[in-house]
Amino acid sequence: MKFGVVVVGVGRAGSVRIRDLRNPHASSAFLNLIGFVSSGVLSLDFCFQRQFLQAGKHVLVEYPMTLSLTAAQELWSLAEQKGKVMHEEHVELLMEEFAFLKKEVVGKELLKGSLHFTAGPLAEEQFGFPAFSGISRLTWLVCLFGELSLVSATLEERKEDQYMKMTVHLKTENKCLLSWIEEKGPGLKRNRYLSFHFKSGSLENVPNVGVNKNIFLKDQNIFVQKLLGQVSEQELAAEKKRILHCLGLAEEIQKLCRPEK
């Protein structure tokens, strides 16, 4: 069985997708690249996804799938109603650093922790509010420590300097505090600073654990497994729950940082 594929958006992720589809990988044997469409407007993504699902097509979307929890729930309901796969890419969970962290935290009791991400300026109009554009960091925290609740969130902005800093405080189900900071501005290098304190010791940043190879291809493999019915209902339900939980948190953070006038 071969599934025809159209790639919408030919930025960094779209270009890698096209390359992987054209190369003779195991999962690519089930996919046939029909064409691609230039996009790049985030607000159109929800419309495209809805149109494709409405037309009875499976959808693979880069994160965040939407910029609101309600919109994501609508899309998932539509996918379920149509009996189609709705897959949100999370390549950050396929990275070597995450695999290392996952092993490190197993069986350890967290006391407190922080994740601070820095990078150059990012246009909010194009990529959404920082809690959404940075949702991969939030996903790391949820996957490592379970569902989280929001304690506080603040946003410092200097638009004339293209600078912003979002500081979020979260709480685990065991009442341990986690802080998540997204800081972007000219001169800031792309970096992740981690600090997790456990009863049994501390973890400060991740050592060099090797190059992340073919993470988009690994994600494509997962998508194909879903198309072929090789992923259990329990796994699909757990993934959906996690994705909606993260989108719900991102929305709460945005409301705290930008209260409606």
Q: Are the beta carbons of 79 and 53 closer than 8 angstroms?
A: yes
Catalytic residue among 39, 50, 74, 92: 92
Catalytic residue among 27, 28, 89, 242: 89
Is 232 catalytic? The answer is no
As annotated, the binding site includes: 10-13, 63, 245-246, 257
Catalytic residue among 27, 28, 133, 136: 136
Distance, CA of 127 to CA of 123 (rounded, Å): 6
Q: Are the beta carbons of 86 and 247 closer than 8 angstroms?
A: no
Is 89 catalytic? The answer is yes
Is 156 catalytic? The answer is no
As annotated, the binding site for Zn(2+) includes: 245-246, 257
Catalytic residue among 17, 27, 97, 137: 137
Is 43 catalytic? The answer is no
As annotated, the binding site for NADP(+) includes: 10-13, 63
Is 204 catalytic? The answer is no
How many angstroms separate the Cα of 260 from the Cα of each of 110, 223, 257? Answer: 35, 38, 10
> Three-state secondary structure along 78-102?
HHHHHCCCEEEECHHHHCHHHHHHH
Asked if residue 121 has a cis previous peptide bond (ω within 30° of 0), the answer is no
Distance, CA of 22 to CA of 16 (rounded, Å): 10
Catalytic residue among 17, 27, 28, 63: 63
Catalytic residue among 17, 27, 28, 62: 62
Is 62 catalytic? The answer is yes
Task: Give catalytic residue positions.
Answer: 62-63, 89, 92, 136-137
